[in-house]
Amino acid sequence: MKTNTMSIYAEKLSINAEFAGKYAKLTKDTLGDNYATWKKTIIDCLEVAYDVYEIRHNNGMADDVKVDLSALYEKVYAVRDMIGEVNGRKLNSKLIAETLVGISHTFRKAAFSNDAASAECDLESAKASKRIAEKRPITNSFTEEVKAQAIAKAQKAVDDANTRIDELSKIAGNYRDIPCPVSETLFLNNAEKELRTIVCGQNAKPYAEVMAEKKAQNDARKQSRKSSK
């Protein structure tokens, strides 16, 4: 019977993070010199995963959109091969690929009307005024009291602009959600979380291995009963 030995990456991903805490995380402390390679291999997937999402998004996420997945799968295979076999089989490449595409992006809210654009300009102007007031040195004419008033006035302008933006964002047509890539750190964290789920989900062992384990357990029980007599 083939003996399944998991890679250090699969081993760490298969540990119950809720109970193991830091010992289950893939860090320099838990992976040693292997961590730099692991981190680079995961982060290298971000650009190609986002590129796939960008094409799909711009085509209305239609099922029949033709997307060249070769660059994505090249990176996915590198991740899959590092993890190695789990219960006698490598992980599903398509599942990894689609998972990475799904976590490659976030959305930023962008002004889409004149009112929204004006409100955004007012906010930036108010923030700039506040920064100037905060950094301005005290003088005979610009006293502590005057400075405090200037900062309070600028803060009110910031609050008013934010309130206006919140109101406009609730009205259709003023803002649009624009896709953008997530940060490398967020992508790495989410990728490890999702890969942990995939690894832990591949928990069915081959028939022969299950039967062999059952036989070994039964033999151990029989031996235990004989020893106790």
**What is each CA distance from 4 to 7, 40, 206, in whole angstroms?**
10, 26, 11
Higher per-residue pLDDT: 101 or 22: 101
218 pLDDT higher than 90: no
Q: Which residues contact 73 (CB under 8 A, 6 or more apart)?
A: 93, 97
Write out the DSSP string of 150-208: HHHHHHHHHHHHHHHHHHHHTSTTSEEEEEEEPPHHHHHHHHHHHHHHHHHH--PPPHH
Q: State pTM to two decimals.
A: 0.73
- Cα distance between residue 88 and residue 175, in whole Å: 50
Q: How confident is the model at residue 176 (pLDDT cuts 50, 70, 90)?
A: very high
Which token pair is 186? 């967020």
- The 10s digit of each residue's pLDDT in 51-69 is 999 999 998 877 777 889 9
- Cα distance between residue 216 and residue 224, in whole Å: 12
Which token pair is 77? 């295979």
- Cα distance between residue 44 and residue 60, in whole Å: 26
- The 10s digit of each residue's pLDDT in 133-151 is 999 999 989 999 999 999 9
Which token pair is 189? 């964290």
Q: What is the pLDDT of residue 166?
A: 95
Which token pair is 104? 């490659």
Q: How confident is the model at residue 21 (pLDDT cuts 50, 70, 90)?
A: low
Q: How confident is the model at residue 22 (pLDDT cuts 50, 70, 90)?
A: low
- Cα distance between residue 119 and residue 127, in whole Å: 12
Which token pair is 14? 């298969």
Q: How confident is the model at residue 168 (pLDDT cuts 50, 70, 90)?
A: very high
Write out the DSSP string of 51-92: HHHHHHHHTTT-TT-----HHHHHHHHHHHHHH-EETTEEPP
Q: What is the pLDDT of residue 14?
A: 84
Rounded percentage of the chain residues whose pLDDT exceeds 90: 63
